Amino acid sequence: MKQKFQYGNSLIDYDLSFQERKTLGIRVYPDKTVKVLAPLETPQEKVDEKIKLKAAWILKQQDFFCAFHPFTPERKYVSGETHLYLGKQYRLKLFVSENESVKLKGKYFEVGTKDKTNKDAIEKQMKAWYKQKANTRFNELFDKLKPLAKKFYEGTPTLKYRWMSKRWGSCDKDGTIHLNLELIKAPKKCIEYVIIHELCHLKYLNHSTKFFQLLEKELPNWRETKDQLEKFLV
């Protein structure tokens, strides 16, 4: 049974079902759905009381599941290994060279390194290459998309990026948008999605109903793109 509960500015949608059980339980799932399991004959007032008590926790859990957690696997940085750039796969081809270099050639990342067994050094080279590319690509996309924010934000948003382990992007109160450099490996439309998502946070610094209404307005197909991003970098 579909139900709603207003908590401050947030509207919590949940599925209510009655079962033969002794306690009233609440579960929050990765797709943000909330399910309430109540004992038979539980009055709605008791359910509302429990939802109110757990509302802050429910919203926190939904926030957690919306935080763009990267699940990229650990790389070994050996020849033949697959690496990504803008949504396409390339194989790593290592060769010994006194002049360290990273070049994209055909279907390969050609990496010149002093020691092909030094994983840390090769990873550092690759990350430097990715960061250099992100410096161009991220700024191009950000400059194209930031005018969207003029409709709901008076300031001028700025862009920064770094390697992050727990999210794809974030937004500061001062209008600074942060992107995870890992995104340079994803398709262009996925990068655009994260930028638009964070731009919407300039209006709402939370994952409230109003935030998602704004995101829906600016990017109607955001759910499909979000799913693609989460499945792509694994």
**pLDDT (average), residues 55-68:** 76
Question: 125-139, 192-206, 208-222: which has the minimum mean pLDDT?
Answer: 208-222
Residues 6+ apart with CB under 8 A from 168: 68, 70, 179, 180, 182, 183, 194, 229
- pLDDT tens by residue, 3-36: 999 988 888 999 999 999 999 999 987 667 899 9
Q: What pLDDT is stored for residue 131 in this prediction?
A: 97
- pLDDT tens by residue, 63-112: 766 655 555 668 899 999 999 999 999 999 999 999 999 999 999 999 99
Q: What pLDDT is stored for residue 68 in this prediction?
A: 54
Q: What pLDDT is stored for residue 70 in this prediction?
A: 59
Residues 208 and 125 reside in one and the same domain: yes
Cα–Cα distance, 73 to 211 (Å, whole number): 31
234 has pLDDT over 60? no
Q: What pLDDT is stored for residue 122 in this prediction?
A: 97
Q: Per the structure, how many domains does the chain have?
A: 2
Q: What pLDDT is stored for residue 61 in this prediction?
A: 80
- pLDDT tens by residue, 158-201: 999 999 877 899 999 999 999 999 999 999 999 999 999 999 99
Q: How far from each other are the two terminal CA atoms of the chain, in whole angstroms?
A: 35
Q: What pLDDT is stored for residue 35 in this prediction?
A: 93
Number of helical H runs and strand E runs in the chain: 5, 11
Residues 109 and 10 reside in one and the same domain: no
Q: What pLDDT is stored for residue 32 in this prediction?
A: 76
61, part of any domain: yes
- pLDDT tens by residue, 28-55: 876 678 999 999 999 999 999 999 999 9
Residues 105 and 167 reside in one and the same domain: yes
Q: What pLDDT is stored for residue 30 in this prediction?
A: 63
Residues 6+ apart with CB under 8 A from 163: 127, 180, 181, 182
Name which of 3, 4, 9 is nearest 56 in CA terms: 9
Which domain range does residue 103 map to?
A: 82-232
Q: What pLDDT is stored for residue 220 in this prediction?
A: 93
Q: What pLDDT is stored for residue 228 in this prediction?
A: 85
Q: What pLDDT is stored for residue 50 in this prediction?
A: 93
| Of 179 and 224, the one with more pLDDT | 179
Q: What pLDDT is stored for residue 233 in this prediction?
A: 59
Phi then psi dihedrals of residue 135, to 5 deg: -55, -35
Phi then psi dihedrals of residue 101, to 5 deg: -160, 155
Cα–Cα distance, 28 to 49 (Å, whole number): 17
Residues 59 and 100 reside in one and the same domain: no
Residues 114 and 174 reside in one and the same domain: yes
Residues 60 and 86 reside in one and the same domain: no
Last residue of a domain, one of 37, 65, 93: 65
118 has pLDDT over 80? yes
Cα–Cα distance, 23 to 28 (Å, whole number): 17
Residues 59 and 149 reside in one and the same domain: no
